[in-house]
Each structure stands twice: as structure tokens, then as C-alpha cells.
Chains A and B, each alone.
Chain A
């Protein structure tokens, strides 16, 4: 704003602009459930970070930026948010901030819906700042707003300025699972292209439209920016959301949509903040890193010992230790407080306890000899003696009893009691059983319950369910408790275990929220088994064919059949990850084997066996494929080989598959193609090779694999034994493959003469469902074929010569 502008009309207008109140909109809902179960009774924006609710940090950041009017859009737990706003120091008269909570309909599922709601409310009168309710920032947004307004004078179509922070690619606060590539004109900092990047499965290419080069011949491609989710928006932005009702996410839909649209002709700019700090608590991992950033004073002047948003006062000691100033903290003489630690008032640390790089809320107690590392304890959490808590978030009022081990990545919701002598698997998520939540713990859940009862409809949950659905979700969780796993939580526990995130095949889930991608956003998860670099560059080392140039994508898919799961490509010996983890894997294989031995011997139910496997898998963080291998190996090895084969053999196989086949699909993911592969792999290297066809037929009958899966498997080059070493195995692979070929041939025949066959065979069949009749008749014969082929190899070799010749040349 140049003060010496003399043109009178222009000046008046400028002054009018200047006088306008700077408005901000806070999206206080996160629209996802990454913090579950911590957020079942509390919205994310009220979770404390460094002992002050996130929302207060956000207010503080906005106040620092000179915002005067704030609209808080809340959806889940709206009443809680309202109370929090009412009690906030910023609502006190004279604070200079006007904070207005706006409760949106519970049908608001995305930020886009919230923006449409803002539009209908008509509260926005000028350019405004759009932030999320989990922002921690000390950036001078005022500068950005000024820049935005300045730009608006020359470019009416500049509707938005995104604040991004320069960092490194692997900065701890930069989310690996949810980042973006920005293409920016370096001179105007206009954003020309936005490409969202999901961490897993790793994105391979950023596709930059060539047409942007026509107008901007030289651009920068930035992959090192932290998106702070601070946007300076013009008044048109909510109306654009209104016009494009399919915009959900502000980035992935709105920004992408505006930039790619040929019709809108609007432009979006970036403000690359070189100084200052801004980050969003988007997930538990960033919760961890932002807490550390605050303790390391990157957010200055917003630090625990000054401007603490919760109004607490802390004393800053050397090594970034913060101890509440009111002399209420009791530290035993022999306890050890490590660096980067914050301890709230009235907390007690007993003898020989160690607290390192952690945040303790108020009234926390750490028992004698306990170790708390990289963990976050909310108010009133009690850790008993001789416990270990690592890389975890512990809700308020949680009581962890003596000698309990809380492994990395655990989220323990408010009021849970665990122990004594429990051992929590890594990444366990615990919440309190519902029935007792009504009886006890009145002190701190008072308010909530009151509201829950009043507002039964719309105060629950962040994922778009209303109270009933959450109840049913909890009910589901409660109903599916595994007593054995629960037993491990100690005798006094009141907890229920939330299931591991499982991909629901039916549910369309976007890549961002996919469990594997979410792992990148989990606290304490180093995700070392996920192949995160460009897959083409790590896995496909083998092929020496001359034409490798740009087809390594295909290699990737070949060597990673478990595309839907966490795949650990064991097939490549060069893989460093595999080597590093091989110890873990062999241990895991041992354990799985024992577990299955027990299950078979003691006749566990399929479900129980499945739960046990899942827990084991999570505990050692290995890929699903290993579990599948173990299960199939266990099953096949238990099928007795009956001399003479024929019908008794078939019955033997059928009974085994009928009893245990279901387990294959219950280990946490369904991938029939992989199942067939593993079956082949196992059969080929064992004495049960002749049974391959019959087992496959049995799996087919029990719907564990279907026709398409067999075809898919058959189509893969590896199925024919290519690249398999030693060469002797290759033969065995080939035999299996030929068996599969027979089966597919029969499928094809079936399709043509299903009708006629049915009639003629009906008599010989017993009680099988009609549809399967032709199959049951023919598939065993396929199995027999394969056993015959064991003796006469020539014939089988001849048969597939035509198919394999070209590729086998190496």
C-alpha cells in the first residue's frame, strides 16, 4: 500500500480496503479418522499439543497474523468446540478477536461441503484467511494478505494464495504420505500445476501438462514445500465451491480443478515462506514432529515458556526442558529428565524414572523405574512403576499399571486402564469399553457426556457417522474382541482393542486413506518395509534383456504381485530392505509356524487363528505375503499323500480346504492371485507337487480363488518358472503352470458346452450346488493330469514350448 498514491478515487478505495476487517475461517473438523480412538469423544482440534488444545494454537497463530474476526466451522462434537471457544482467552473482552462458531450439518463430509456451507451462510465479505483447526504457525500471514491484495489489483482472477513453506524433501514435518509437487512460475510465483503425491503405493510419475510451457517457458518444479494449509482466499472461493459441487478437498479437488479447468480462467498463487514456521497436525506422525518442533522453539514466539496458548507458564531449562513454573511438579531426586521434554503442573516423576523427548500433561504420574520416551501423555495419565512407554500417545486419565510395556505407535484413548504386566503390540489402538464409561470417570468426561446425551445426533466422530453409527462402530469393535489378545492387556484392563486397519475390498477407499499410506502418517512407524522409492528403480534388477529402457514399470508389477498389500519384494536378493529385515522375518516365520501348529493341533476356529496371525504380523511388521505363505505352507504340508491318489486323495484335500481354506482370506487382505502363486511356489519345492492341480481345484470349489484369478496367475511370466532359480525348480513351476493351462482350457470348454454337460453328469454328482457341477467333475481330472505329467516330462515340455520360447532365450 503506497501512501503517496494521489489519485483520489484509488486512494479512497484503498482505504476502504484497508479498513475492512481481516476475516479468517477455521475448518475445525479434520474430516478423517487418523487419530481414532483418541477422537471418539473429542474433536481433533481439542487434542492438546504441548498441553494446549490445537485450536488455541490456531487462534494464537491467527492473532499473530492480525486477524480480527474468526469463524470456526465445526461439525463433530460441535458443542465441545463451542465451549472451548467460550472458555478460550481469546473470547474474553479486550482480546481483540471476534470468534464465531458455526455448526454445519452433519452431512458435511469434506472441506468442500464446509465451504459450500460458508457460502450459504454468506458471512464472508472480503478476502479471508482459510486455515484448518490444527495449525501451528508463526508466519506473518499479514504480509501474505497484503501481497494477495496487491496482486488482486492487477490480476482480478487471482483468487487464492497458498502459503507453503520451503523445507527439504525428507523434513520430518513434511508428510510423506500426503505431499504435493508444485509447478511455479519463479517470477510471479503463480502456481501452474498442482500434483498431489501419495506415499504408498509410491507415485512414480509427476505429469506436468505441456501446455503450461506455452505461456510460461521457464518454470520451477518444487517437491520440497510443506503445504501449511493456510490459504488467502478471495470472496469468490466459496462460490466456486458452490458451483462445483464435486469439489471435496481444497487441494486435491479445488486447486487441481481450478488449475486444470479451461473454463474458470482463475489463477492461484503460492507464497513461499522462507522464514517462519507453519505446519498442520494432519496425522499422528506430524503430531509427533510438530510437538518436537515446538519444544525445539522453531515456532518462536509461540513457545511453552512464552505465549503458551493454554496460558500455562513453564520454565525453560537448558536442553529444551520445560517444567511448569508453579512449583507443583514433584521430581524425584533420582529421576532422569532428558532433553526436549515438557512437564505439566502437578505432575510427579518417581524414583529412577526416565522421561525423554516427551510431553507430560498436568497431573501426570510416572511410577518408579518407568521409562517414557518420545511419548505424549495427556492430562492425568498415570504410568505405574517399571513400565516402558515408547512413541505413543496416551489419552487423559489413562492408567497404565506396573510392568506394562507400551510399544511404539500405540494410541490409548481417554480413561483406559491397562495392566498390570501387559505387553501391548506395536500400533495397538485401545479405547475404553463402553459400559464402564457410563459408570465411572465422571470428573473429566462430565461435560462430554452431558453433551452426548443432549446432542445425540450430531456431536460424534469425525468420519461422518452420527452417534448411532459410532456406537455401532464401537459395538462392532467390541463384538470382535479376541479374548486371547485382551488377556494380554492385563487383569485390570477395561480396554477394547481396535482392529488393525484392513482394506475393505468392497469399499472404495482413496489412496490417501489407504492403510499402507496411513502408515506413513503414524507415530513411531518408520515404515522401513514399505518400498517407498520409485519402484521401478529398486525391484527390477534382474532382467538382462536389451529392451529394458522404459518398461521397468512392468517388471515392478511382475515382482510385486501383492499390489494391494504391504509388499516386501523378497524375490530380489539385492533389496537392502529385505536384508535388513531378514532377521525379523525369520523370527516371524518361526512364530507363525508355531501359531499355526497350535491352531491345527488344538482345532481353533478359523477366526481365532486369523486374529492371532494378524497380531503376529503387526508385531513384526512384515508383509502380508509372508503370512499367506505360512498359511498355505501349513495347510498343504498337512494334506496327507494317499498312495494311489484318486478319490480318497481328493476327499482328503477337500476336507482340509473346507476346514482351513477360509483362513487364507482372513489374514488381513484378499489376493487370490497371490494365493495361487504361493501355492505354486510351495508345491514346486515340496513333495506335494502332484497335488497342485487338485488343491487348486479344491480352492476353486470353495470360492477362494475363481476363474479370473487362475487366468491372471497363468498369464504371469513368473508362473511359467521364468527367472526361478535353481533351474530344477523351473521344471516344477512349469508343471504347475501346465496344470493351470489344462484348467483354463476346461473353463473355456465349459463356457461353450456347459449346458449339455450338466445333463449327462448330474447323476454322478452328490450334493454339490448345481452351478459347480461341471467343475467338480472336471477339475480333479486336471489334478490327475498333473500327477501324470510328473512321470512324462517330455509331453508337457512340448506343449508349452510355443509359449515360452521367446522369453526363455536368456
Chain B
């Protein structure tokens, strides 16, 4: 697979490798559901008509990092590698060498981030930056800011990780409660020291189980950092700049599954519990960079409300992709329309995200919907706050509200009275052939 690798062997040792994790995106179902036999990888879902993966990749590129280890499920391999080598992206990321690796897992039983990282530990020979494919970094926060903090901290006092947390203020107008698609990501309470920029404590499900009413902070922590701050407004960007040694620690803690819920909360404790330090023979520090909402919009697109919000954020009013046709007397407000869509007459689209190849028939009304690839909407159908799986077909005159419409269980939902014996397989395949 790597036969296209033409980069000359580097003489200079690399300082960092960026490790981008692309998962299934179960929180984004049904958008990430399969379209026929073809997967719809989360990493390639468009945000304002650019694949999600573009954002972290260009972030990495801007910081001058040359090497990316992109890890995705094996079933997504062809789609993602196609994307990487398609003209558009290879042109824009010419300076980055992307090493695409896959791991075997299924959508139902996804492997924890810890085990994924452990599996690829031998491919990571240097310090690395862990980046999720769904982080939309704000322009005011270049990756180099994190790297610089990491560099100074490691030089001065043996910091081994620099993390990044961001504050997210959701728009007042889009109160997410009514969506019924699950709530947006909840902030995790964390404790950090403002003066030294040190992350001290991350609340984890384990801690919540132990004591639901109180946060238990070790006094050693508070003696070492007597002016700690505690906040429940910050979200984990899941961007971690790590020393290679982190992988060794990870290798020793075999039972950890999730980096965010298990490993990093544990690592925080390692900072001030000398027992653990003796055992693991390190004394460490975890740096933190906090990005405030006022300094620019940052979001992790890991659920449907966030997806909608991210799309809205980048579009002043409406953006319409290439080769899309809009017929007369249609109104489109506040929406993002993908490429190759066909929008009929008298269609009303407000606050929606339409992916590529959607077909909206005459007289349909869409309000606050996200339509997956190649969704077809019948004549005069009305959808309010719905999400559809790729290839879904909405019947003529159908009216649906607050639903996640996916293909596999249409029959299981009797309330969808108009659900016919439509077969979804006859859908067109979505190909990126526009150039």
C-alpha cells in the first residue's frame, strides 16, 4: 500500500509525529451508518463542504509537522486512502507525509483508544501528538502554541504531556434540548493550576462512581498547588502532545481502555502521589492549555448537535456546493448544501445540512435537518429536525419530526406509517469525481 511513498529517507530525526485517530463516530449515527455496502467514515463527513479530516490535517501542516500517522478502522481504509490521494487533498497537504494504518474492529465493538495506541506503539518512535479527527481547531490556537508549551515544559521540569481543553459556549438560539438526538458533550470537571499551567485532576466515571456528590481531591495536590482552579466548563480537545515515554506507561497499564476516561485521569494522579512515582520511576507533570470561548470557536464534532453547530459556524448564511442545481422559487436559509445535489421547485430549506448527492423534490420543506449522502426527499415531504442515513428515501408527502431516520430499522418502527417496502440498495454511489 505504501508504494507511493516517495519521500526520501530523512536524515534529520523527526521531533514529532502526529497521530490522528479516526474512529467510527457512533455518536454521529445515522450519518455514519453504511450506505449500502459502503461505509461513511466519520473523518470524511463534510463540515462546510470540506471533509472533517481536513481541519486537523491543515492544523498539523501549519505547525510544520511533516509526518502523520493516520489510524482508521480497516473497513474505512479504501475510502480514506482514496481521499488522501485524491487530487484535492494531496495538493493541499503536499508537505505532509501521511502513513495510513488500520486496525480491525467493528462498528459495534470498537476498540478503546488505549489499545489502539498500544497496538501502534512500535510505529511511534518519537514524541507524538495525539489528535482526534473531529477536532475543529480555532484559528487563534495554532498547534505550535501547544508544541511550544510542551517544548518549554519538557525542558524545564520534565513535563511529559501537554493537553488542551477548550471552553464551549453553545449558541443560545440552538438550545439543544429539543433536538432529541442526544445532548451535546458534557464538560468534564477538571482541576488545574493556572500559574504553572498544570493539569491536576480530571474527573472520570470511576471517580463519579466512587463519590457522586463530592469531588475528592488529594491534599498533597492542594499543598503542592495551593491556588488550584476547578472548572466544569471545559471540554477535552483530546489533543495531547506526549513524550514517547507515555507509550511505555501505557504499555504497563494494560487494563486501561479509554485514554480520556482511564489513562489521563490516572496520569494526573501520578504527578503528586509519590508512591506511584516510585513505582513507575518517573516524576511527571501534565501541562494544560486552556482555550477560552472568547478567543475563538473550537469544537469537537463528536455528536449530532455539534455537527450541526460546526456547519453553521463556518457558514455566514448559506453555502452551496459545486454542481448543485436549485430550481426556481426555492428558498434556502442558513444552510449548507453539498455537491451534486438537486433541489426542486418551491423547496424550503432552513437551518439544514445536506450532504452530497441529495435530491429534494418539489415542494419539500426541511427545517433543521441533517441529510446524509444521497438522501432523497419526496414531493411535499416535510422534515423537521431529522437526521437521515446515507441513501435514505423520504416518501412523497411524508412528514417526520425529531427522528433519526436510518435504513435498517425503518420496518421496526411502526409509527412510520408511510414506510414502504423501499429498498435502499438501488441508490447511486457517491463518488468524488467532480474534478
Q: Which A residues have a C-beta under 8 Å from some C-beta of B?
A: 168-169, 181, 183, 186, 197, 202-211, 213, 217-224, 533-534, 536-541, 544, 546, 548-550, 552, 555, 574
Contacts and interface: CB of A to CB of B under 8 A. Distances in A.
Contacts of A536: 218, 273, 275
B278 A541 contact: yes
A217 B168 CA distance: 13
Contacts of B232: 213, 217-218
A169 B214 contact: no
Interface residues of B, number: 36
Contacts of B222: 181, 206, 221, 223
B159 to A, nearest CB: 20
B276 A548 contact: yes
B272 interface: yes
Given A218-B229, A220-B229, A533 B220 contact: yes
Nearest to A547: B255
16 contacts: A181-B219, A181-B222, A205-B216, A205-B217, A207-B211, A208-B217, A211-B213, A218-B229, A221-B228, A223-B227, A533-B223, A534-B272, A537-B272, A538-B275, A541-B275, A549-B266
Given A206-B217, A541-B275, A541-B278, A169 B230 contact: no
A202 B230 CA distance: 23
B220 A534 contact: yes
B261 to A, nearest CB: 13
B218 A204 contact: yes
B189 interface: yes
A538 B226 contact: no
A203 B213 CA distance: 19
A217 B231 contact: yes
A534 B269 CA distance: 12
B229 A221 contact: yes
B189 A219 contact: no
A534 B218 contact: yes
A213 B226 CA distance: 19
A221 B231 CA distance: 10
A552 B212 contact: no
B213 A209 contact: yes
B123 interface: no
* Residue from B213, B266, B274 having most chain A Cβ neighbours under 10 A: B274
* Residue from A204, A221, A574 having most chain B Cβ neighbours under 10 A: A221
B279 interface: yes
B141 interface: no
What 4 A-B pairs have minimum CB-CB distances, sorted nearest first? A224-B226, A534-B220, A207-B214, A223-B222
A289 to B, nearest CB: 18
Contacts of B279: 541, 544, 548
Interface string B342-367: 00000000000000000000000000
B191 interface: yes
A169 B219 contact: no
Given A548-B279, A552-B275, A210 B213 contact: yes
Given A207-B211, A207-B215, A168 B226 contact: yes
B233 interface: yes
B278 to A, nearest CB: 5
B189 to A, nearest CB: 6
Given A208-B217, A221-B229, A213 B189 contact: yes
Contact of B219 (A186, A203, A222): A203
Contacts of B187: 217
Contacts of A555: 275
A548 B222 CA distance: 22
Contacts of B230: 183, 208, 213, 218-221
B226 A537 contact: no
Contact of A222 (B206, B226, B254): B226
A534 B273 contact: yes
A203 B222 CA distance: 11
A717 to B, nearest CB: 17
A220 B275 contact: no
A542 to B, nearest CB: 9
Contacts of B272: 534, 537
Contacts of A534: 218-220, 272-273
A552 B273 contact: yes
Contacts of B213: 209-211
A549 B230 CA distance: 23
Contacts of B226: 168-169, 222-224
A208 B229 CA distance: 12
Contacts of A540: 275
A204 B273 contact: no
B273 A222 contact: no
Contacts of A221: 191, 217, 222, 227-230
Contact of B229 (A211, A219, A224): A219
A536 B277 CA distance: 12
Contacts of A197: 219
Nearest to B225: A223
Nearest to B217: A206
A205 B221 CA distance: 9
Given A534-B218, A552-B273, A574-B278, 11 more contacts: A169-B223, A202-B219, A207-B215, A220-B230, A222-B227, A223-B222, A223-B223, A533-B220, A537-B272, A538-B274, A549-B269
A644 B279 CA distance: 49
B219 A204 contact: yes
Nearest to B273: A537
B218 A205 contact: yes
Contacts of A219: 229-231
Nearest to A192: B230
Contacts of B254: 546
A544 B281 CA distance: 13
Contacts of A224: 226-227
A175 to B, nearest CB: 14
A201 B283 CA distance: 26
Contacts of B227: 220-224
B213 to A, nearest CB: 6
B30 to A, nearest CB: 33
B391 to A, nearest CB: 42
B332 to A, nearest CB: 37
B46 to A, nearest CB: 33
Contacts of A218: 229-233
B215 A537 contact: no
Contacts of A204: 218-219
A506 B275 CA distance: 35
Interface in B346-403: none
B8 to A, nearest CB: 44
A219 B189 CA distance: 11
Contacts of A169: 223, 226
Nearest to B277: A537
A712 to B, nearest CB: 24
Contacts of B233: 217-218
A220 to B, nearest CB: 5
Contacts of B189: 210, 213
Contacts of A208: 214-217, 230
Nearest to A183: B230
Contacts of B273: 534, 536-537, 552
A366 to B, nearest CB: 40
Contacts of B219: 181, 197, 202-206, 223, 534
Contacts of B191: 221
Contacts of A537: 220, 272-276
Nearest to A168: B226
A574 B218 CA distance: 22
B10 to A, nearest CB: 39
Interface in B166-225: 187, 189, 191, 206, 210-220, 222-223
A538 B255 CA distance: 25
A534 B274 CA distance: 9
Contacts of A210: 189, 212-215
A197 to B, nearest CB: 7
Contacts of A183: 230
Contacts of B276: 537, 548, 552
